[in-house]
Structure 1
Amino acid sequence: MIFIRHGQGEHTLNLPESLHLSHPSLTIKGMNQAKNLRSTLPLTSEDVLIVSPTLRTLQTAAIWSENMECKRVVHPLVSPRIFPARSDAATLPCDESLDPARLQDEFTSFVPPPNLAASLWTTGINVLSEDKFNLLAEEFIDYCRNLQSEKIHIVTHDGTITSYRQKISGCRFTREDFLQETESFRLMVE
């Protein structure tokens, strides 16, 4: 599993006010970062690309995978996640998922996995407790195992990546361990 942080989004340009933007797009810099993934992490037709249901992650994945016939999946179990988890946290507008109708309309090559609870599309994993997240993380890891692909690329968010790194490795991480825009981290899952 190769986790990739999305390209620069509009929500990072004027903190903290910009965190209240609804469905922020990639910036010009973010679009260029996504294009650069074509050479730094080239995709093949054998690869699977799993993407968070936010505009900036879908834009990153769409630019990166343009003209590539890999399998594309949009999955709420890699949606934004606050790290570290806090019981008093709330999802900010910049971290809300696109609704399924908009996903189907704008990102037709990205398909959702079958048989997911409808609530996951609206609530995501952003403010779940560690215990609830860990249960869903196991479900997602099993989903990835069943894909039987050599490489699974997951375009997601800094907190989500760090949460999965912590879950899979058993190590403790902090916000200091966040990846930068379009950086990647490989995790082996047996």
Structure 2
Amino acid sequence: MEIIFIRHGHGEHLVNYPHQLNMQHPGLTGRGLSQVRELRKRMPVHPEDLVLVSPTKRTIETAQILCEDSKLYATPLVGPRMFPQHPDLPAFGCDEIYPKEEVIQRYPQIEMLESGMEWRTEGINRMDQGDFETCAKQLLDWCLGQTKRLIMISHDGTITSYRLLLGEKDLTRSDFLGEAGVYETTYR
């Protein structure tokens, strides 16, 4: 299965970095919207693609621009994840995911992917590495049975965590994708 990881465009929480990282549910800025529109010209998303989106405003806005004709599935398993994990550091407000009921109410066109994981607002952000790997592998195995091409619209730390799970070595924060960045790989 081909996997295309896409990072959301420039978000409102980054306008006055780092002073707005506790902003709740930041959306895309004008710059972020432009970045995603430009990406759409270069990277078409097809109706048969499986599209997973993090249940945050900025990733959903990114998905809505990129994937007009594709079904979108929200799951906390692609939500924000701190990378590397620092249990002593607090989680940022910008990384809180929407409650499931709010996604259903705000975005009725998005389906909820029931992953077997309790839908909590902290999602996978602070999840133990072993638990994350177990859940993420189950998700990827399920996707493998559904599609030939998976598009995951997510966050820099989450994408880097999945890349490590898929076998890359020695990744650091310097390997983060830029805004509206794309990384392609395969999973068998």
Same fold (TM over 0.5): yes
Q: Which residue of 2 aligns with 1:167?
A: 165
TM-score, normalised with respect to structure 1: 0.92
User: C-alpha separation between the residues in 1 aligned to 2:106 and 2:22?
Assistant: 22
CA 160–115 in structure 1, closer or farther in 2 if over 3 Å, else same:
closer
Alignment partner, residue 136 of structure 1: 135
Unaligned 5+ segments in structure 1 are none
Q: Distance in 2 between matches of 1:4 and 1:121?
A: 23
Report the secondary structure of 1:102's partner residue: helix
Among 138, 152, 155, the alignment partner of 1:154 is 152
User: 2:168 and 2:35 mapped to 1: Cα distance?
Assistant: 30
Q: Distance in 2 between matches of 1:84 and 1:115?
A: 24
Match of 1:183 in 2: 181
1:27 aligns with 2:25: no
Secondary structure, aligned partner of 1:162: helix
1 CA distance for matches of 2:22 and 2:96?
A: 10
Aligned residues: 186
Greater fraction of residues in helix: 1
> Partners in 2 of 1:39 and 1:28 — Cα distance?
17
Could you list the runs of 4 or more consecutive aligned residues of structure 1 that deviate by over 4 angstroms after TM superposition? none
In the alignment, which residue of structure 1 is the partner of 2:63? 61
Tell me how far apart the structure 2 counterparts of residues 187 and 84 of structure 1 sit (CA, whole Å): 21
Instruction: Please tell me whether the aligned partners of residues 10 and 28 of structure 2 are also in contact (alpha carbons under 8 angstroms).
Output: yes
What percent of counterpart residues are identical?
37
Q: Which digits, 9 at most, give the CA deviation of each residue in 1:32-86, with x for residues without a partner?
A: 11222221110111111110000100011011122x1x22100110000000112
- State the shift of 1:170 in Å: 4.0
More displaced stretch, 151-160 vs 163-172: 163-172
Counterpart pick for 1:45 among 41, 44, 47: 47
> What SS class does the counterpart of residue 61 from structure 2 fall into?
helix
Alignment correspondent of 2:114: 114
- Cα deviation for residue 115 of structure 1 reads 5.3
Q: Displacement of 1:136 after TM fit?
A: 1.4
> What is the CA–CA distance in structure 2 between the aligned matches of 1:63 and 1:16, rounded to whole Å?
27
Paired residue type of 2:88: D
Which amino acid in 2 is paired with 1:188? T
